[in-house]
Chains A and B, each alone.
Chain A
Amino acid sequence: MKIALFATCIVDAMYPRVAQATVEILERLGHEVVFPAGQACCGQMHVNSGYLREALPVVENHVRTFEAGFDSGEFDVAVAPSGSCVASVKHQHAMVADWAVEHGMKGADSTLARRADAVGARTYELAQLLTDVLGVTDAAAQLGSYLPGTITYHPSCHGMRLLHLGDRQRGLLASVEGLDVLDLPDADQCCGFGGTFSIKNADVSSAMLADKVANICGTGAGACAGGDASCLMHIGGGLSRERRTTPSGRPVRTVHLAEVLASTRESPLMFDGELALAGTPGGAR
C-alpha cells in the first residue's frame, strides 16, 4: 500500500524522530511511504482558538495537498501520528469550509467541505491504521517491536473521544516484547494542554498537569507513552520542570507510541546513550 505521511506541524518541527519511527514501522511492513511536501498543519490551533478566518487557508492547503495525491493515485491512505490532528482533519475541516461560505469569505469554495470530508475519510491515526487497515495486533511478532522496561499510558482526549480509538494504542504497546504497561490512575482525564487553553487559562491547565504528572510518577514507570506529540510535549514539559525521576534515579520521560513500536532488539530506543526505560540497565529483564 502507498501511504502518505502527514507528519503534523509539531512532529515535523519538534519531534522528527516520531515521524522517522512512523516511516520505519510502515516500511517494515512493506508499505511505501510518501511525504507530500506541500503539507503544513491541520489548523486545529486556529479553529480551537476561534480564529476561523485564519484557519481557512491552513485547511485549504491541507485538503489541496492531500486530495491531489489521492486523486493521482500517488498514495491510497494518509496517516498521522496524532489523534487530535486526525480528529481535526475528520471533524473540523468541513466545519471551517461551511463557516467560510456562511460568512461570505472572499474566495470561499462551496465544494471545500465535501472535498475535506473525502480527505478525512482516508486519513488515519497511526494505531487505527495499524490495527484496522494493516491488521497489526501483535507488535512483537509482526513488527519485531522490543523494548524492555515499564511504561504507563495516557490516552489522549481526541483519540479516545473523537476517534474512538478504544484500546488500540494500549493493545499495541502491550504486545511489544519486554514491555510492561502499568495502569495510569485517572488515565482518561485530560492532561490540561488543550492548545491555547494552556496559555489562556494557564493556571487551571497547570493544575490539571500537576495531577497528571503525579499520577504518572505514582506508577513508578520509566516513561509515559501516548499517541499525541502535543499532549506528550505538555506532560513532558511538566515532568521536566518538576525534575521527576524514577525510583532508580533516571528522568521520567514521555515517549510516542511510534517510537516504542519502532524499537527493536537490533536498534532499541535509547535516551542519552542508554536504553530508554528505567530500571532495566543493559536491557536485561
Chain B
Amino acid sequence: MTAVSLGIPAVPPRGFGNISELEPFPKYAKRELGNAQQRRNLTHATHTIRDKRLKVVSELPDWEALRDAGSAIKTEAMERLPELLAQFEEQFTARGGTVHWARDAAEANRIVEELIRAAGPDETGPDENSGATEVVKVKSMATQEIGLNEYLEERGIAAFETDLAELIVQLGHDKPSHILVPAIHKNRTEIRDIFLREMPGVDPDLTDEPRRLAMAARAHLRAKFLSARVAISGANFGIAETGTLGVVESEGNGRMCLTLPETLITVMGIEKVLPRAEDLGVFMQLLPRSSTGERMNPYTSLWTGVTPGDGPQNVHVVILDNGRTRALADRHGRSALHCIRCSACMNVCPVYERAGGHAYGSTYPGPIGAILSPLLTGIEAEENKSLPYASSLCGACFDACPVKINIPEILVHLRGEDVEERRSKPGARRLPSQFDLAMTGASWAMSDGARMGLLERGLPLGKAAAGRYGVISKLPGIGAGWTQSRDIPAPPAESFRQQWKKRDGSRPATDRPATEGESK
C-alpha cells in the first residue's frame, strides 16, 4: 500500500471536532467521581447490559468463530479500503445516490449544510430562499464526532435528535456520555425533570414511569417526523458490492427519518465499508448481542439508492476521513478502525464505570475512545495525551470486543509513542520529570541481579520508615498518589535473594546447583 495509490497526502490529515479531551483525564475523572448519583446510575446500567450480553453471547456455540470472522472481514476491508470505497461510490451512484468526500469535520459540515440549503424551504422557514431550517436526525456517532448539530445551530438550522436517549441529552443541554446509551448517566427522575423543563407542550403531570416518558417523547417527535424535509443519519455499514447503506436501531425513530423526508443525507466514516452483502450475516449476530444484549435489534434499515415515488428522492452520502487514514497508517493501531461502535468495552470497563463518559472529553469514551481518539488526532497532538493512560490494562475490553481489537496492547503502544514523542521534542532539554527519573533509575537497577541485590540491602531503611504501625502511610512526590488511599507494608529485613544466598551457602558445594555469576 502506498500513499500515492490511496490518493492521500503523505501526512494524513488530523481529525477535528468533538474528539479531543477538554482537560486531562485524571483531573476530569476526579470531578466526575464526586458525582455519587451518576456513579450509581452508571454502575446499575453497565452491570445490567453486561449481564444481558453475557447471557445472549453464551447462547451461541460459535461465538469465538464469529468474532474471528468479524475481525477477518474488517482486516480485509482495511487492506482493500481504497478499492472498496471506489466500488461503493460506483454502486451508490449507479442507483441514484450522490457521493461526497470530506477530508475532515469542517468539510463534512459544510457539505451537509449546502445540501440542506439545496433541499428547499420547509413550512417553518423564514423565507423561500433559506432552505430547510429544521432537520431530523437518526442517532449517529459520525455526526457527533464532527459536531454537526452545533455547526448547524450556529447557522440557523435546528437539528432534532430523534433517538430517545439523544433527545434527552439534547434537551438537557448535555453531552452524550456513552456511544450507545448517551443518557446512561441520567436516571428516570432526572429525565422527567428535563422533559418538564424543556419539552414544549408536555403534560405537567408527567411521572417518571418509563412508558409515560416514552409517550411524551413520541408525541414530541411525531410532529417533527411529519414536517421535516431533510433527515440526517450515520451508517453502521456501507456495502461496497451493492452501494447499500445500513442503520441498526431499537426504537423505529430512525426508520421514520429514513423513509419520510424528501432528502436523506448520510455521514459515513470510511471504515464502515464492508466488501459484500453476505458479510452482514456476521455483523448482525455480533452487533446486537454485544451492544444491547439482544439476540436481534428491533429495526434494521437497509437502503440502496433511490426508489422513484417511495422514500427519499434525494439521497446523499458524505464519506468522511477526519483522521481515519491517519489511524489506518498506524500499523499497531489500525485495528481500532475495526470498531463497530457496539460499546461492549465501555460496559465492562472498570475505569469507565467510575469516571463516566464525559471524563474522556471525546465523542468516543471508554477503552475504544482511549485509543481511537488519539489515533484520529495523532498522538503528537496535545489534545488526547492523557487518554492512553486512562486504563489499568485489565483486559476486560479485549475479552468483550466482538471484533477482537486488542485495546490493552494498543494502549501500551500509544503510551510508548507518547514517551518517545516527548523525548524527541526540540524542547526536550527541559529537566526530566520525577517519573522519567524513576523509570531511568529503575531500569538501571532492574537490568542486573547484582545491582538489585545491592539496593535490597537498603530494605531495613524502609522498615525503619514504616514506624510502629508497620506500614508506610505517606510518601512524597509521585508516590503520594499511592498513599492517598493505600498503605505500603513495611519491607522485610532481608530480601529473598539474601535469604537464598545464606541457604545456598550453608549447603555442601556438591549439592548446590551451578548458578551463574552474580551479574550476568
Contact = CB atoms under 8 A, between A and B. Distances in A.
Interface string B103-115: 0000000000000
B217 interface: no
A12 B497 contact: yes
Contacts of A199: 478-479, 481-482
A40 B451 contact: yes
B393 A197 contact: yes
B451 A16 contact: no
Interface string A1-21: 010000101011111110110
Interface stretch (A52-60, A118-126, A139-147, A175-183): A52-60
Contacts of B351: 201, 204, 208
Contact of A16 (B390, B494, B517, B518): B494
A234 B447 contact: no
Given A50-B412, A241-B485, A37 B513 contact: no
Nearest to B423: A53
Interface stretch (B23-31, B80-88, B122-130): B23-31
A95 B417 CA distance: 14
Given A50-B415, A60-B447, A201 B516 contact: no
Interface in A231-256: 233-234, 236-238, 240-241
Interface string B354-381: 1100000000000000000000000000
B186 to A, nearest CB: 20
A270 interface: no
A161 B399 contact: yes
B26 A200 contact: yes
A173 B90 CA distance: 63
Q: Is the interface of B mostly helix, strand, loop or mixed?
A: helix
B486 interface: yes
B395 A50 contact: no
B101 to A, nearest CB: 33
Contact of B396 (A16, A48, A190): A190
B26 A201 contact: yes
A281 B394 CA distance: 37
A213 to B, nearest CB: 10
A37 B515 contact: yes
B45 interface: no
A55 B74 CA distance: 33
Interface string B387-411: 0111111111011000000000100
Q: Which of B350, B459, B482, B494 has the most CB of A within 10 A?
A: B350
A61 interface: yes
A79 interface: no
B519 A38 contact: yes
B392 A207 contact: no
Contact of B497 (A7, A52, A53): A7
The range of chain B's interface size is 35 or more
B241 to A, nearest CB: 37
A172 to B, nearest CB: 22
Interface stretch (B1-9, B222-230, B244-252, B438-446): B438-446
A276 interface: no
A119 to B, nearest CB: 14
Given A12-B456, A36-B515, A203 B29 contact: yes
A128 B409 CA distance: 23
A65 B496 contact: no
A20 B503 CA distance: 11
Nearest to B459: A13
Given A14-B489, A14-B491, A157-B395, A46 B439 contact: yes
Contacts of B415: 48-50
Contact of A69 (B417, B423, B445, B516): B516
Nearest to A16: B496
B395 A161 contact: yes
Interface residues of A, number: 81
B516 A35 contact: no
Contacts of B517: 37-38
B495 interface: yes
A193 to B, nearest CB: 7
B345 to A, nearest CB: 13
Contacts of A198: 392, 481-482, 486
B490 to A, nearest CB: 9
A41 interface: yes
B354 A204 contact: yes
B514 A241 contact: no
Contact of B496 (A19, A52, A161): A19
Interface centre among A57, A103, A203 (most CB of B within 10 A): A203
A17 B500 CA distance: 11
A221 to B, nearest CB: 20
Interface in A193-225: 193-210
A2 B513 CA distance: 10
Contacts of A157: 392-396
Interface of A: 2, 7, 9, 11-17, 19-20, 32, 34-41, 43, 45-55, 57-58, 60-61, 64-65, 68-69, 72, 74-75, 92, 95, 99, 103, 157-158, 161-162, 188-190, 192-210, 233-234, 236-238, 240-241
Given A37-B516, A51-B439, A198-B482, 7 more contacts: A49-B435, A50-B417, A53-B419, A58-B446, A69-B516, A161-B396, A238-B485
The 8 A-B residue pairs whose C-beta atoms are closest, nearest first, are A194-B392, A50-B415, A237-B486, A202-B481, A190-B394, A54-B443, A16-B496, A57-B447
18 contacts: A11-B496, A13-B452, A13-B495, A35-B497, A37-B453, A40-B446, A40-B448, A50-B416, A58-B447, A69-B516, A103-B420, A157-B393, A189-B350, A201-B351, A208-B351, A237-B485, A240-B489, A241-B487
Interface of B: 25-26, 29-30, 33, 350-351, 354-355, 388-396, 398-399, 409, 412, 414-420, 423, 435, 439-440, 442-443, 445-453, 456, 459, 471, 473, 478-479, 481-482, 484-489, 491-492, 494-497, 499-500, 504, 513-520
